[in-house]
Structure 1
Amino acid sequence: MGIIDFFKQLFQSGKTAASHKSYLSDADYPPKQAIRLIKTAEPHTSKFGGNPNLPVSIPWPETPEGYEMDFIAQIHFPEIPDGFDLPANGTLFVFFDCDTHPFGFDEEDSKYWKIIYTDEPLPEIPRERISQPETPLNHSETPFLFQEVFLTFEKFISRTSDAERIGDGQGLHQMFGYPLYIQDPDMAAGYELLLQIDTDGGENGPEEGFTWGDCGRLFFWIKPIDLAASRFDDLKLVLECY
């Protein structure tokens, strides 16, 4: 559609330019293939919460203060649909220090979250956290242990206008595609969305689900060149909330 035809359609419809925000955005940016993360009762290797199936050869990530980070998710690549630039084998482990709750704006924030990729075989029995050092007054006495929920994956078409959607209480978790940004659509220029983890806290407490700030989302970003080379050690985190 040419620019003249667009404005003709705009005025004939009687709608304002503001009401065409989605149309303009989608016209400027082509749709992308993406993956939706869906909670399921059927056992899978991929999951949110619980304890990670982290190989014993890999140290559990710690904060500079010596506290083990909280386990958020593991994504097992053999369970991912075909058609994405990911290794055929291997697993991503996502850790985040829920007490510090880094937003990703400062250089120090990178010390309070960690994504680990390994292609080692996973142990059948999940790893448990070891005892923490003496807890200061400004740190949670009890480590976060989110309820274990298995994940399945579904392809979908991601559009920029998806950011206007409102969650259904189940969380808008995804890999790739356009971020469902809350504040800044250009939060990570030059990067590609790798993983988005939404707020989906349960009614009976945060251990049933995630709560990032004030109903926010975690966005993990990767450089396209690193994704093509299966390098997951130089990612970018942004936490946005309302």
Structure 2
Amino acid sequence: MSEFNDLSKENTDDIINTVAFKNFMENYTRTTSCPSIKLKAERKTTTVYNSKLGGTPYLPPDFEYPCNTDKDSDSEPLKLLAQLNFEELPKLNGFPSKGILQFYAACDDLYGANFDDWTEQTSFRVVYHKDIIKEESLLQTYSMDEAQNEEYFPFESEFLLTGELTSSPMSSGDFRFDKTFLDLYKQYIPTAAKNVYDLDEEIAEKVFNDLSQPGHRIGGYPFFTQSDPRDTDEYKNHTILLLQIDSEGSGKDEILWGDCGVANFFIKPEDLEKCIFSNVMYNWDCC
């Protein structure tokens, strides 16, 4: 690496355009890349079995519909936020290959999140149905008033979800990013920086833009408009991105979390392996 010893003294463009920086980015991508399912949301009518945002959920006959159990609520029914049918989606290592996973949330100004306890499932619920009943006539029927607290939900009606298997490096928003990035960066380009923000502003901006991971996805690395709430001892083991729902669209096709925010659900690897969804972490933030 001696030929790059003076890079820290060069200007930003010189560093960004060096073979050293290119090799670093290639190595960073190679060593941190993780598979995920990129989701596409389309305004289409869905069945009770489809992967989707909103709409009518799959309801087996013995299933008790989830209600808001927060002490300050009136036990109102939660609304289906998202449903994932793993038989319809690309196979993702570590995730179920069958069954339906549902995400319910309260129609309130926090969209069911509890910012004092990210895992308290009172105003939101994550439910897994392992074995799917294919005969629709045997299922429960349930209809929630679409207009019910519509202003307190991130979208109207329903969107069909389809998925594409992809792979991407650790995002710049992940709480592990700073250390992971700098440990490798220093092997290629000498720097005294103690965090990414200490790097030249243009380099930091390029890194954050190139390694941002917005959009809807299952697995992989998250995107935030603020910061990763898992950067604490209590939540640092919720390392798996179970689902990310971003803001997009306009008008009646708009999905909007507050002021153009994003929602994330995280789970511990050991819980996902056992299909235990009672300790899922739910967070959303906005600009």
TM-score normalized by structure 1? 0.75
* Contact 2:107 2:150 (C-alpha < 8 Å) held by counterparts: no
Gap change, CA 1:71 and 1:18, over 3 Å in 2: farther
Structure 1 position 220 matched with structure 2 position 265: yes
| C-alpha deviation, 1:14, in angstroms | 3.6
Check the 8 A contact 1:217/1:241 in 2, yes or no: yes
1:116 aligns with 2:166: no
Residues in 1 aligned to 2:16 and 2:61: alpha-carbon distance in whole angstroms: 54
**5+ unaligned residues in a row in structure 2: which ranges?**
174-207
Pick closer, same or farther for the CA change 1:107–1:77 going to 2, 3 Å: same
Aligned to 1:77: 86
Q: Distance in 2 between matches of 1:130 and 1:231?
A: 27
Q: Given that residues 100 and 112 in structure 1 are in contact (C-alpha distance below 8 angstroms), is that contact kept between their aligned partners in structure 2?
A: no
1:147 matched residue in structure 2:
157
Q: What is residue 98 of structure 2 aligned with on the other side? A: 89
Which residue pairs with 1:128 in the alignment? 142
Q: 1:58 offset after TM fit, Å?
A: 1.3
Q: 1:49, 1:117 → 2: CA distance?
A: 16
Distance 1:190 1:8, change over 3 A: farther
* Contact kept in structure 2, 1:29 and 1:160, CA below 8 Å: no
**Separation in 1, partners of 2:136, 2:61:** 12
The answer to whether structure 1 residue 160 and structure 2 residue 156 are counterparts is no
Change over 3 Å in CA distance of 1:130–1:150 after alignment to 2: closer
Match of 1:172 in 2: 215
- Larger mean CA deviation between 98-107 and 216-225 belongs to 98-107
Percent of residue pairs bearing the same amino acid type? 26
CA distances 1:92-116 after superposition (whole Å, capped 9, x unpaired): 0111113141444213853111110
Q: Is the counterpart of residue 67 in structure 1 residue 115 in structure 2?
A: no
- Contact (CA 8 Å) 2:221, 2:241: kept in 1 or not? yes
Give the 3-state SS of the residue equivalent to 1:110 in structure 2: coil
Q: Which moved more, 1:26-35 or 1:108-117?
A: 26-35
C-alpha distance in structure 2 between counterparts of 1:50 and 1:7, whole Å: 58
Q: Secondary structure at the match of 1:221?
A: strand
Say if 1:104 and 1:236, in contact at 8 Å, map to a contact too: no
Q: Report the equivalent of 1:32.
A: 34
Q: Which amino acid aligns with 2:281?
A: K
SS at match of 1:94: strand
Please say if residues 26 and 161 of structure 1, whose CA atoms lie closer than 8 Å, have aligned partners that are also in contact. Answer: no
RMSD: 3.7
Matched, 1:106 2:116: yes
Following the alignment from structure 1 to structure 2, what is the Cα–Cα distance between the partners of residues 6 and 111? 55
Alignment-mate amino acid for residue 112 of structure 1: S
**Change in 2 beyond 3 A, CA 1:5/1:210:** farther
Given that residues 47 and 74 in structure 1 are in contact (C-alpha distance below 8 angstroms), is that contact kept between their aligned partners in structure 2?
Answer: yes
Query: How high is the TM-score relative to the length of structure 2?
Result: 0.65
Q: Secondary structure at the match of 2:121?
A: helix
Question: How far 1:80 moved relative to its partner?
Answer: 2.1
Are the structure 2 counterparts of residues 25 and 198 from structure 1 closer, same or farther at C-alpha, using a change threshold of 3 Å? farther
The corresponding residue for 1:134 is none
Cα deviation code 1:23-78 (max 9, x no counterpart)? 59947961111111112459671111111122232122111221011211110011
Q: Which amino acid aligns with 1:68?
A: P
| Larger Rg, first or second structure (1 or 2) | 2
CA drift of 1:227 comes to 1.3
Higher helix content, 1 or 2: 2
Secondary structure of 2:270 counterpart: helix
Task: Name the counterpart of 1:49.
Answer: 54
Number of matched pairs: 225
SS at structure 2 position matched to 1:225: helix
> Residues 144-163 of structure 1: CA distance to partner in whole angstroms, max 9, x if unpaired?
68322211110111223475
